[in-house]
């Protein structure tokens, strides 16, 4: 698990380089900062690695895969083949990140612990989506994490969409 997480960190550093290069060279834009809520800080600094994996890999990375598919289609439609290809490369990495957490949580967390992670994760997702969606936020259905073996998948209305 440690080795796989170290590999993921290497991937994430490469992603930053790829995105920065595309933003500057292909799109002619300057890098900046998005509105990051303290909820993300809280989630990323949880002591329990399973809670971090639940939200980061089993929810946010999964939603990012949807976003990358959408960006790829839009880039292709606009004739931006290099950006479309880069979306494919990023998505391939994201798939391994989602799989990493899904498999390790299933292997190391029993059913009760998984249910606890689902409860914690749903609360965290509500806080994150609420921040980005603003005052009119209404949760649309149930949130699913990739380690759950049942339940219908619901994409986030905010993150990765």
Q: Is the pLDDT of residue 29 over 60?
A: yes
Task: Kindly indicate the confidence band of residue 159, based on its pLDDT and cuts at 50, 70 and 90.
Answer: very low
Q: Is the pLDDT of residue 134 over 80?
A: no
Burial of residue 101, with CB atoms counted within 10 A of its CB: 0-12 exposed, 13-18 middle, 19 or more buried: buried
Averaged pLDDT for residues 117-129: 89
Whole-model pTM: value is 0.80
> How is residue 12 annotated by DSSP?
H
Contact between 66 and 144 under an 8 Å Cβ cutoff? The reply is no
Residue 16 is encoded by which pair of tokens? 């930053």
């Amino acid at each position: 698990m440690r080795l796989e997480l170290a590999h993921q960190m290497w991937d994430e550093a490469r992603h930053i380089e790829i995105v920065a290069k595309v933003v500057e060279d292909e799109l002619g834009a300057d890098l900046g900062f998005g509105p990051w809520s303290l909820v993300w800080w809280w989630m990323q600094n949880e002591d329990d690695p399973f809670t971090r994996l639940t939200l980061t890999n089993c929810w946010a990375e999964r939603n990012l895969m949807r976003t990358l598919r959408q960006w790829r289609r839009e880039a292709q439609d606009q004739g931006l083949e290099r950006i479309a290809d880069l979306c494919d490369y990023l998505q391939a990495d994201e798939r391994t990140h989602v799989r990493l957490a899904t498999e390790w949580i299933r292997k190391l967390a029993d059913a009760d612990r998984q249910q606890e992670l689902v409860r914690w994760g749903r609360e965290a997702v509500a806080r994150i989506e609420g921040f980005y969606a603003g005052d009119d936020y209404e949760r649309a259905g149930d949130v699913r994490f990739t380690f759950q073996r049942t339940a219908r998948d619901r994409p986030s209305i905010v993150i990765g969409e």
